[in-house]
Amino acid sequence: MKIGVLSLQGGVIEHLSHLRNLGVDCIEVKEAKDLNEINGIILPGGESTTIGLLLKERKMLHPLKERILKGLPVWGTCAGMILLAKEIENDFRKHLEVMNIKVKRNAYGSQLDSFICHTKIEKVTDKEIPLIFIRAPYIVEAGNDVDVIFEIDGKIVAAREKNMLATSFHPELSNSLEFHRYFLNMVG
């Protein structure tokens, strides 16, 4: 199994570090041809507009979308969630548009409004894990085929639809490997 981390901008190193700590073969995905080498991909947190523009500039948007639609397991964290969403509230921009969710960008406010909470997410682990929210989005609407994994105060912050996983928070910034294990189980 080889996992790719989209390496155009954002929390790339942290995801690679977690994957290596789990003994997983992983690569940085910087070009469309890299997509042929992987069994799953992580879209890291960062700046969704910048990552979206770079995907287009490097002619990676359509090949990546095609692979996801054909079943490539994908996990989007924070900005990655926005990239996956079919709709972004109050925003005309579109990116991959593959996951049947509508998201609200920067839903928890500015950098100063960032926070950490500790909780158990039964669908992922029986351990309490830290959830780190930094200018995080959340899901305001999810299609019937979307499995809501976790909500905070009625706001969806983790969800899965078939081969696609999206989290508002940044598991890669904590010491917890639980979400990375969950994703690896999706990949098989």
The SS3 of residue 171 is helix
Q: Which residues pair with 160 in a beta bridge?
A: 147, 165
How many C-beta atoms surround the C-beta of residue 164 within 10 A?
24
Phi and psi at residue 85, to the nearest 5°: -60, 140
Q: Which residues are catalytic, by number? A: 78, 170, 172
Counting Cβ atoms within 10 Å, is residue 37 exposed (0-12), middle (13-18) or buried (19+)? Answer: exposed
Q: Are 46 and 82 in contact (CB under 8 A)?
A: no
How many C-beta atoms surround the C-beta of residue 77 within 10 A?
29
Which of 92, 55, 74 lies closest to 167 in space, CA to CA? 74
Which of 173, 187, 183 lies closest to 149 in space, CA to CA? 183
